[in-house]
Structure 1
Amino acid sequence: MDLNYEFYIDATPEEVWHTLVSPEGTRKSFFGCVINSTFKVGDPYEYVGPGNEGDETVQVYGTILFYEPHKVLSYTEHPGPSYQVKHKELESRVTFTLEPVGGCTKLTLENDQWTENHPAYENSKKHWWMMLSNIKTVTETGKSLDLGW
């Protein structure tokens, strides 16, 4: 049930990291969302952006598990309250890992530890490809992909 993806991005780990965590990077690569977090291990985070409840909809939320700038970001993930009634019971783990490879960066995403029968699993399986492609494009060009969303 684990979802694993690898992308090679023509940028430094610092540039990819900026796309992953900065408001300007996430707005472009995560469809208008920003991450609200201290990024301290054990602290909460939320991806907030346009959705069911307007421009400040909590898309997903959870707890920061590991944070090493330019290398690893890992967190638990729950669907936002407006998307699933039992959102607190639904969980998975997301881990982004960055490694320099030659003059580029290897971005690895692992989405695992899914709650049994998690209703977002199939959706995540399809949409991670789009989001990771968008992270690559934003980092390399500064522009978002037009995915019709």
Structure 2
Amino acid sequence: MSTASTRFIHVIYIASTADKVFDAITRPEIARAYWGHENVSDWQPGSRWQHVRANEQRKVELVGEVVESTPPSRLVITWAAASQADDPAAYSRVTFDIVPYDGMVRLTVTHDALEPGSGMDNGIRQGWPMVLSSLKSWLETGKGMDVFAKPLA
């Protein structure tokens, strides 16, 4: 693997509170509603976390470690495909910065330490915008979007 890395940053404004946004990221029963996955951990620095598909198979798809957890304003985790969990070079990092902003919340998701052009890099560039749109929809309307939808054309 090359030593070059890249990052992806997505900013979204949500008519909600910082507490509700943080809970939506960290509480499995909420993440299931808008992401189709559950984020499972005790969210203490140094703890492991798992991203588990919310279906009958309950497949663990992503794993990592909690680097920083400062509810409700900041969460930093490492991130790797479960199939690559034993390879330290496979891990990237995700930072959720949650800032109250004039009656709403500005959520900035920074996914960095990515290998440019890798499957993970390409996947998250499509995935994060959909997941964060679904999160916004769920918090504002009570209904998430189909994050597994595919383009029609």
Task: Report the TM-score when normalising by structure 1.
Answer: 0.87
Give, in whole Å, the separation in 2 of the partners of 1:94 and 1:142: 25
Give, in whole Å, the separation in 2 of the partners of 1:20 and 1:75: 12
Give, in whole Å, the separation in 1 of the partners of 2:62 and 2:140: 26
Give, in whole Å, the separation in 2 of the partners of 1:42 and 1:115: 24
Tell me which residue corresponds to 1:88. 86
Work out the number of aligned pairs and report it: 142
Give, in whole Å, the separation in 1 of the partners of 2:39 and 2:127: 18
Match of 2:42 among 29, 38, 41: 38
Instruction: Show structure 1 runs of 4+ deviating over 6 A.
Output: none
Give, in whole Å, the separation in 1 of the partners of 2:143 and 2:128: 18
* Bigger Cα displacement from structure 2, 135-144 vs 86-95: 86-95
Gaps of 5+ in 1: none
RMSD: 1.7
Within 5 Å, give how 1:1-149 maps onto structure 2.
1-31=6-36, 33-50=37-54, 54-81=56-83, 86-89=84-87, 90-115=90-115, 118-149=118-149
Give the direction of change, closer, same or farther, for the CA distance of 1:148–1:112 in structure 2 (3 Å limit). Answer: closer
Deviation of 1:129 (Å): 0.6
Give, in whole Å, the separation in 2 of the partners of 1:88 and 1:133: 32
* Identical pairs, percent: 25
Give, in whole Å, the separation in 1 of the partners of 2:63 and 2:148: 24
Give, in whole Å, the separation in 2 of the partners of 1:48 and 1:3: 23
Query: SS of the residue aligned with 2:111?
Result: strand
Gaps of 5+ in 2: 1-5
Amino acid at match of 1:3: F
